[in-house]
Each structure stands twice: as C-alpha cells, then as structure tokens.
C-alpha cells in the first residue's frame, strides 16, 4: 500500500494553519489508515482530526482544528490508497486491447473497482465484487454506481466477458438495487453478438428483473485498426436503425411499466443510422451524458437557449468526485488547457473536430456564425492513428491534427480545438498542445465542447 501524498494545500484553510505542506505523506487519521479517498473523507469530517504525516522520512503528528463537516483544504495525489481492483475479464470488444504499443502506461490499465465507479463514473462488471464490497456500498450509500451489463442472458454475458463469473455476477446488481443503491447500466452493442434478438431479451428482462435500474445506456462498440478479433465489426446503417427501433420500442414499454424510459441510445448509434437524435425528454436528465449519450441533443438545446436569450447550461458531469475535494481528477475529468483567442482577423475561425463532430455541427453552422458574428469553417480530422470507426472528437490524436493543419491551405484566423481531446496539454498519443501550435499557420485556441465554450473562443 502506497501512502497518499499531499499535492496542494489551499491558502487560508485549516490544513495551512496546521502546517501541512505539499509533499507530506498521509499515514493515518485518528489512528485509522484509510484505504481510499472515500474513507479519508469520512475521517476528516470529524471535529479536529489528528493527522499522522511522514515528512522527509520523519513521522509528524498534528491536529487540524476545524468544525465537523468543514473541509480541511488539501488535494491528494491518488483516490485509491491500497490497490486498484483490476479487471480479470478478457472482453473481445475491450478498446484497451485495441491500443497500439508504446502509449503511456496508464492507458493500458483495466480497472474493475467499484470505488472508481462511484468516484469517476467508471463502468464495472461486478465480476470481482464480494460480500464485503456489497456491505460497504450499502452501509456507506456509495451511489450512483455504473455497471456494464452487455446481456442479461448468462451464457452470452459470460462469453462476451470471457469470464465464467460473468454468468452469475449480475446477482450483485440485483442486491445493490434491492438496497436502493442508484445504478446506471451499460450495454456495449456488438453486431451479430448481442444486438437484435439478444438486445430485445436484455431490454425486456431489465424491466422485469432490474426495474430499479436508473438508466441503461446502449453504445456501439468502437473498433480500431489494431483489433484482432475477426468476429467484431461495426454496425451497418441498417443494423443501427434496426437496433434503435428496438430501443425506442422498449423505451415506451418501460415508460408504461415503471414510469421511466430507462433505455438510452448512444449519439453514435444515431449518427451511424443517419437518424435525428430524440428530444431531451428521452434522456432521463442526461444521466449518461459523459458516456456519449445525449451530447448532441444537449448541444442543440443549449444553442436554442442562447438564441432565446436564456442562460446557457450544460448537463452535470457524472461521478461523485466533485463532492470529495481531495480526490484528484482522472481521465475525462483531468483539467483542460484553455487558451484565449488572440482575435486574429486573417480569416474565419476554423473548428477542428472529428468526423462525427462535423456531422453534428454542420446543420447548425449558420446559427453559430450568426451568434459569433464571425465566419466559421469546419476542419474534420480523420482518425488515421486508430483507424476503424474511431470518429469521435475525444479520440483525436495530436499527430493526426498536425497532419491535417499542415494540409489546410484555406484562410484561417484561428484554429479551435475541442478540450475533450486533451488531458491538460497532452493528446492521447502523447503529442503536446505546443507541438500542434507550432504546426499551425494561425493561433490555436482550446474551447470547451459546448456551444457557450465554442462561442466564447471564437467571438
């Protein structure tokens, strides 16, 4: 077990007054060694917690004077202090198996840890879940959790996970729901494996066996050119439309039976089918927005509100880490590098996006230009790095962006990149934002992937 380290001590806080410093290692609180940031948070909620710290190899004890429930004002370097529960499934559709070699080590880590599900919205299969885990989740009310279901047929689920425990681990889902733990589910839809009739069975049995499930997102599998599974393929437009018809049918059945639509299809599935996304009411408060479900509708709705003079709002990001100030941001929630537009006048604002992003923005481009008071041009970037059907902006890599910018010979006043493609200043292929800036003939701006973010960057 590695000791969590203090990354930052906020000014004018109880931690600063007690003399805590960045670099201090946390050994124990009130004599208890916490295993994760959840337990840490519970311990520091007490009045005047006593910290045992290790500083330059020396143990130091200090009492942090504070009222019950008040934050102490530090940020730690980790959310799990013991060992992350890794995934022992071997799902044929797992995108980690489709990554090329040589990328940063963290991208190859497969976790199946319910604590990361609670903290960050990671999906868990529950195949490594235990009675002890169940007891803790229920006692501490650790929800919502996010569970990969894929299929309710036990044999098909076990085969998809390539783990015999996949046939029985959904019993934990039933136990959690029975204890009123909020859970959002997911189905990764693989044509010829769990779509069509299997999808029908999964959605029907979800209503009868798991009626308390908050939502069930249905997303198509992503395939890269590094995929080695011969039986995996992407949806045809006809298959995508057929699966959407199944989802829409069961949405209405769920609405009649339990008062909620429950089932939500990925935006990508609508793009593949060439169909318009449904209205906001179909997305159950956008609970799976971060999973690529409802992002298009949220974007269009935000545009409508801005045109009407209303306040622009975006769906709340899933995961509970925002309520735990000490937990570090990870993955999707890593901070983004936001730059200021230098207001260059040499040409239009050029929005650099993925192929799917181009499909989303093109129909509303004149409306965006009117609001921005500026000409906007779209520059789609094919994902040559990953290949396959990886067409979302979040998987754009710096190398592909650089090549696209170098080949762009049309006028450009500024290039606008979506923040979802970056973790701080780095793309998923380890290309830095500064490398992209150096390759561009115009200033490069990073914008939040919302209407207000886009308009704020290009106005």
Residues 32-60: pLDDT tens digits?
A: 999 999 999 999 988 999 999 999 999 99
Q: How confident is the model at residue 423 (pLDDT cuts 50, 70, 90)?
A: confident
Give tens-digit pLDDT for 5-29. Answer: 999 999 999 999 999 999 999 999 9
Residue, of 105 and 33, whose pLDDT is higher: 33
% of the chain at pLDDT higher than 70:
93
Query: Going from the N-terminus, what domains does the chain have, and what CATH number goes with each?
Result: 6-76 (2.30.42.10), 95-323 (3.20.20), 334-458 (3.40.50.11600)
Q: What is the pLDDT of residue 109?
A: 82
Indicate whether 102 pLDDT > 80.
no
| SS3 annotation, the chain | CCCCEEEEECCCCHHHHCCCCCCCEEEEECCECCCEHHHHHHHHCCCCCEEEEEECCEEEEEECCCCCCCCCCEEECCCECCCCCECCCCCCCCHHHHCCCCCCHHHHCCECCHHHHHHHCCCECCCCCCHHHHHHHHHHCCCCEEEECCCCCHHHHHHHHCCHHHHCCHHHHHHHHHCCCCEEEEEEECCCCCCCHHHHHHHHHHHHHCCCCCEEEEEECCCCCCCCCCCCCCCCHHHHHHHHHHHHHHHHHHHHHHCCCCEEECHHHHHHHCCCCCCHHHHHHHCCHHHCCCHHHHHHHHHHHHHCCCCCCCCCCCCCHHHCCCCCCCHHHCCECCCCCCCCCCCCEEEEECHHHHHHHHHHHHHHHHHHCCCEEEEECCCCCCCCCCCCHHHCCHHHHHHHHHCCCCCCCEEEEEHHHCEECECCCCCEHHHHHHHCCCCEEEECCCHHHHHHHHC
Average pLDDT taken over every residue of the chain: 91
Total-model pTM: 0.90
Q: What is the pLDDT of residue 310?
A: 82
* Average pLDDT of span 334-340: 58
Indicate whether 328 pLDDT > 90.
no
Give tens-digit pLDDT for 116-152. Answer: 999 989 999 999 999 999 999 999 999 999 999 999 9
Give tens-digit pLDDT for 190-224. Answer: 999 999 999 999 999 999 999 999 999 999 999 99
Q: What is the pLDDT of residue 167?
A: 94
Work out the burial of residue 329: count CB atoms within 10 Å of its CB; fewer than 13 is exposed, 13-18 middle, 19 or more buried: middle
Q: What is the pLDDT of residue 361?
A: 96
């Amino acid at each position: 077990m590695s000791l969590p380290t203090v990354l930052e001590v906020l000014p004018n806080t109880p931690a600063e007054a007690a003399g805590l410093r960045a670099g201090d290692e946390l050994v124990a609180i009130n004599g208890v060694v916490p295993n994760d940031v959840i337990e840490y948070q519970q311990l520091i909620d007490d009045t005047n917690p006593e910290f045992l710290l290790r500083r330059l190899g020396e143990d130091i004890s200090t009492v942090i004077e504070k009222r019950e429930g008040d934050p102490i004002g530090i940020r730690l370097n980790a959310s799990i202090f013991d060992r992350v529960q890794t995934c022992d499934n071997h799902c044929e559709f797992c995108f980690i198996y489709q990554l090329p070699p040589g990328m940063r080590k963290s991208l190859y880590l497969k976790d199946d840890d319910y604590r990361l599900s609670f903290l960050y919205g990671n999906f868990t299969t529950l195949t490594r879940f235990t009675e002890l885990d169940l007891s803790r989740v229920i006692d501490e009310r650790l929800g919502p959790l996010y569970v990969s279901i894929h299929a309710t047929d036990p044999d098909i689920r076990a085969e998809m996970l390539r783990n015999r425990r996949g046939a029985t681990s959904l019993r934990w889902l039933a136990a959690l729901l029975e204890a009123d733990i909020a859970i959002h589910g997911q189905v990764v839809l693989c044509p010829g494996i769990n779509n069509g009739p299997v999808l029908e069975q999964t959605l029907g049995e979800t209503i009868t066996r798991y009626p308390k499930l908050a939502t069930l997102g249905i997303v198509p599998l992503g395939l890269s050119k590094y995929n080695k599974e011969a039986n995996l393929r992407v949806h045809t437009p006809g298959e995508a439309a057929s699966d959407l018809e199944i989802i829409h049918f069961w949405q209405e059945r769920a609405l009649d039976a339990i008062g909620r639509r429950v089932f939500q299809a990925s935006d990508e599935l609508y793009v593949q089918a060439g169909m318009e996304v449904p209205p906001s009411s179909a997305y159950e408060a956008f609970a799976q927005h971060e999973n690529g479900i409802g992002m298009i509708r949220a974007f269009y709705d935000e545009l409508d509100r801005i045109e009407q003079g209303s306040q622009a709002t975006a769906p709340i990001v899933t995961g509970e880490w925002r309520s735990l100030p000490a937990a570090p941001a990870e993955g999707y929630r890593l901070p983004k590098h936001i730059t200021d537009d230098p207001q260059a006048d040499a040409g239009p604002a050029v929005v650099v996006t993925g192929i799917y992003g181009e499909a989303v923005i093109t129909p509303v481009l004149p409306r965006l230009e009117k609001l921005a008071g500026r000409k906007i041009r779209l520059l789609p970037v094919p994902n040559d790095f990953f290949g396959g059907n990886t067409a979302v902006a979040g998987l754009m890599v710096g190398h592909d962006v650089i090549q696209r910018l170098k080949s762009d010979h049309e006028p450009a006043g500024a290039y606008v990149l979506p923040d979802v493609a970056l973790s701080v200043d780095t793309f998923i292929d380890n290309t830095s934002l500064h490398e992209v800036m150096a390759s561009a003939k115009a200033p490069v701006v990073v914008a939040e992937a919302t209407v207000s973010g886009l308009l704020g960057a290009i106005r």
